[in-house]
Amino acid sequence: MGLKIAAPLRHSWLVFSAETKRLTAYRAQFWFELVLSSIVELLIALAVWRTVFAASGATQIGGYTLEGMMLYLTVAIFFGQATKGTGVGTFQREVYDGSLTKYLIYPLSVYSYKLGTFMPRSLFALGQMLLALAGIWLLGYWPPETSLSFEWMMAGIVCLFFSCLLYFFLIILLESLAFWADNIWALSYALQIAIVFLSGKAVPLELFPSWVRSVLEISPFPFLAYFPAQVFLGTIDYHNFVAGVPVLLGWTVAAYAGSRIIMSRGLHRYTGVGQ
């Protein structure tokens, strides 16, 4: 039994290591796609919110000071980048061109292989966030009302891991529809747009109308950025944390189960020569 468990883990680790080396092999492309894009997204968000605060003349918006908003956006944006992993489109393309065949003969499941290629970008994004937080502190923009706790930081990173799994299973679920449809790229793109506006990545959920928040709190979207960011920063109260964790785990299990069902049925329809 121990060998049966150890082998897939070892194979996944090999895939993870190979993907990490591949991402860093072309340094110019790596820095542009992973680092520069994240920094540009963050700088644009910060510039917009600085303008909003200046135009309103308010010292707080939705309970956030300007410094508090900057800190929250930094964590939420990089957490949002982490949950996206390697992005979208690879699985559906492999279904269409037949290259999915090669994964079916590997000594590990499609899930294990794909997760091994998914996680390196997540870890890179987490490392970027820690560097950005250090920059905020060194530049004197750290909000005095916020102090990070090691326990909450670790809890936030654990929640982020399950957020990554949730997004991964959602993407597999959507892209498994490629077994039936000729082009499901629009569904993946729609998910990206929904995440930007509904996950709290660009706008904290405190600024949404109460009825919208009530709906979002039982949806998977806040758990892809807002919830793990709040936990990491320690700005969530214990009651909401305890109430939110089962919802995050529930959506993760539901997304996994749904993706397994759709992929299993799709594989019975699949034909491809592979590459």
pLDDT in tens, 99-156: 777 777 766 677 777 887 788 888 888 888 888 888 888 888 888 888 889 999 999 9
SS3 61: strand
Q: How far apart are CA 218 and CA 191, in angstroms?
A: 17
Q: Which residues contact 88 (CB under 8 A, 6 or more apart)?
A: 171, 175, 188, 189, 191, 192
CA nearest 248: which of 191, 175, 174, 165? 165
Residue with more model confidence, 272 or 241: 241
pLDDT at position 1: 44
Tell me the pLDDT tens digit for each residue of 54-108: 999 888 998 899 999 999 999 998 898 888 866 555 677 777 777 777 777 766 6
Rg of the chain over Cα atoms, rounded to whole angstroms, equals 20
Tell me the pLDDT tens digit for each residue of 228-264: 999 999 999 999 999 999 999 999 999 999 999 998 8
* Whole-structure pTM value: 0.86
Q: How far apart are CA 62 and CA 40, in angstroms?
A: 25
Decide: 78 and 220 in contact? Cβ < 8 Å.
no
pLDDT at position 31: 62
